[in-house]
Amino acid sequence: MIFMANLKCNHTRKSFEEYAQILDESLKDENVFVFPPSSAFLEGSFKFKQAAQNFYPAKNGSFTGEIGQDMLDEFDIKTVLIGHSERRAIGESEEQLKAKFEYAKKEGFKIVYCIGENEEIFEKGKTKEFLKSQLENIDLDYENLIIAYEPIWAIGTGKTASSEIINDVLNYIRNFSKSSLLYGGSVNEKNIATISKIKNCSGVLVGTASWDAKAFLKLINSAKEMI
């Protein structure tokens, strides 16, 4: 099972060093990715894979405030997050997401591509139609692609999609791609056992419950008990 921690705008380099040490002391052979803020990237090798929450589709250049590939290469980062709803909410367009995807694909990055619907679309019963439109933007046959389904109405709200909803949506996405499929949206220690049993769910993209290293480890261990 894949466990991904999106630390979002949390942790300094000092606190992330402590976070990394706690994980390294406890992890064995689990498949774990951690997305720290770019200012907290660490040099060295770890039992987890360090990944980027955001990047600009260029090696470097006159792109004020952006993170180029050269900066990721310095820390041997080969996994990137694209399409998270919080990036879309601040204005990243489908055109920008496609440019990021094509660049990352060209450079051989592992891409975690996020899709998800808001509450209005969910309530209208148009989730699948909406998700299909988001998937049309990318190469679904790319061998280093992971798709993360994150219903916006469940991110940071404490609401989690039921196992029936997750199962139905992931089964639908499976019609279009053979990639690993993740679920994200208020994943925590209490619901991870149920989520881990869903047939087409290869893992989870965890937000709030991953910000504390010990809490994240408890979540991982809870899932392992069910595998």
pLDDT tens digits, residue range 67-91? 999 999 999 999 999 999 999 999 9
8 is in an annotated binding site: yes
Collect all residues with Cβ–Cβ distance below 8 Å to 177 and sequence separation of at least 6.
135, 140, 141, 145, 147
**Is 175 among the domain residues?**
yes
- Res. 227 pLDDT band, cuts 50 70 90: low
84 included as an active-site residue: yes
| Radius of gyration for the chain, computed over Cα atoms and rounded to the nearest angstrom | 17
Q: Domain span at residue 138?
A: 2-39+46-57+71-224
Note whether 40 and 16 are within 8 A (CB): yes
**Is 173 among the domain residues?**
yes
**Is 163 among the domain residues?**
yes
- Res. 109 pLDDT band, cuts 50 70 90: very high
- Token readout for 200 is 């087409």
Q: What CATH number has the domain bearing residue 131?
A: 3.20.20.70
218 is in an annotated binding site: no
Residues of the chain above pLDDT 70, percent: 100
- The pLDDT assigned to 192 comes to 95
Among 84, 86, 92, 117, which one carries the catalytic annotation?
Answer: 84
Kind and range of the H or E element at 203? strand 203-206
- Token readout for 143 is 């061998």
For the entire predicted model, the pTM comes to 0.96
Reported as a single tens digit per residue, the pLDDT across 141-178 is: 999 999 999 999 988 777 778 999 999 999 999 999 99
86 included as an active-site residue: no
